[in-house]
Structure 1
């Protein structure tokens, strides 16, 4: 349960103001069809995060525990610092110019590609390696993505201007850094057992 809750909270906070949330706003504004957009976000996130989580589980099996503690600890600190860097959406990730996949297909492809190498995908790798619970981590990170992106689709940019994005990013960064320091200090060993 701990892996699920930590994964959900971290990703939901980290996703606020992220490029994929901006993509959700763009898709909602362009297509005005929330159900296929939300379904597309869910499918893309499940596919992307399942692969990322599997990679994290595989890495854990290959790397000695001492080395893994340092990699994870420093990785969480780095993610915390990265969370403080504002995201901008690239034009090619705008969501389907020229694609003839329909709203659902366009959303799946755009979200899957936008998540590649994104901080939430990398967080999923690290969380799966940390908690040794692939299903709980993928379910948690997916729920975190949905918590952040479904309101973006349903409410659009009216909500974005009311959320203090810097404060949310600061909180997420603090949690990532604290988690990294706990891992580096050996205080989170119960998670890796």
Structure 2
């Protein structure tokens, strides 16, 4: 172990950091530009010509090899890029599709004076289609507490469903960020307007 160069340990540490760092390798949504990789490749090739003529020291050889590898990797990434599939937004038609109810809830509802606070507890982004009070043939867009329409509810993000005192539940249609299966979230409660009339059996 004592004979291992210090740079080897630094390189191994950087590789482990890149491998296990959260979101270290996030696929890009746009095609990488080939201009800079081409410039780097030309520089590496120019230095490589001097290396082939034997007029450089080992440091120049290492720099030339690194530039060539980096440039070729960039050119390969630009050439092999595949665009992400475009996911169509969820519409009113989602209500009439065959829906799936997950075994474990991906959304939760908390009631307050403002309405029903819908929270994404799934740990991933969810695409929102719309919602309706239980028992009503209605369709409303999901909105933030500020009133902005939400197309995608991030993990941990909240939305506000403006329910009234006589409403006894909500139905929310949504889908995973990557997937076409429509999910349905159901939540029911005793209406606050009739809370004093409850009979315990």
TM-score range, shorter chain: under 0.3
> TM-score when scaled to structure 2?
0.24
Which gives a bigger RCO, structure 1 or 2 (Cα 8 Å, sep 6+)?
1
**Highest CA radius of gyration, 1 or 2?**
2
More strand by share: 2
More helix by share: 1
